[in-house]
Amino acid sequence: MKYILLLFFSFSYLLFAFDGKAQKSKGSLSEEEILKIYEEQLREGYSSRGMTDFEIEKYISKGKEGISTVNDFAKQLPLLFSDKTNEGLAVVFFFFKNDTLFRFFIEPGLVKEVKVMAIKKKELEQLNADIYNSMNIFELTKNRGPQKRGLKKDEPAGTGKKISLDIGIKNATMVLLPENFSEQYKHIIIVPAFNIGTFPFQLLKPYKDGSFFIDRCSFSIASSLMDIVALRKRLLKNGDRNDRDSIAFTLDQALFVSNPSYPGNTEYIFPNLPGAKKEIQNAIPFAKEY
């Protein structure tokens, strides 16, 4: 089963949508500028996680060779996946800077659409919170997440006025996926910016019949454009691209973990996750068939 989300709320957004190669509009950034700033953002992020300058350069250089624009990345895609995979593949690349969200919708060999939206970080956060609020996620997780002993748990952000789930999903879909998204796409690789990686893409509804995204399309999250290129090149190093995607992974001597026991003298209490034990019990029989 597959899912997708849509969100709609009272923020105004400026957009420029067009087919083919991305162009520079007044007050916007060129593809070259975007990727330079994007690389700087990646370096800052990796540095904040303790990576040294040498490690960062080594990591990024593996995926950026020959890529100075998003169009360059699009031209590399057909060389990284099998012909069969390329038929239904697309990449959604997000870039956020100065209260502006850029969304690139990329097919193998082509930047299909570029959309530029004026939106603040707070509005993106609210867009996501609206969906979780409409499903009572914050309320349901109050007694499921780790809790500090002896203290009342703080209320999660975004638990204010609720909107309907349908409206929340509609709003999110408008921001996260192109209007002409169709059944031709079978797998989407999402390269998020800011909090976009935390959106429940499976709940989006981009299809005209109102079905969920996940019902017709699978998706995966890539931490960066460079990761997609570097990891695929490493996978293809000793094989043909039309062979690599057909590899079958086996599950041998699998270990399933559910509701582990935690020490009783720690700073936090870790409640058991409802349904986790049953989920593991239902999964165990499938391991014998892999």
Residue 115: Cβ within 10 Å count: 20
Q: Do 76 and 82 form a contact (C-beta atoms < 8 A)?
A: no
pLDDT 10s digit of each residue in the chain, 290 long? Answer: 333 333 333 333 333 333 333 344 434 789 999 999 999 999 999 898 888 999 888 888 888 888 989 999 999 999 998 888 899 999 999 999 999 999 999 999 999 999 999 999 999 999 999 999 998 887 777 777 777 877 565 555 544 567 899 999 999 999 999 999 999 999 999 999 999 999 999 999 999 999 999 999 999 999 999 889 988 888 777 666 666 555 555 556 777 777 787 777 888 888 887 788 888 888 887 776 54
What six digits make up the tokens of 68? Answer: 């100075």
Residue type, 83: D
Q: Which of 177, 173, 169 is nearest to 131 (CA)?
A: 169
For the chain, the structural domain boundaries read 31-240, 248-290
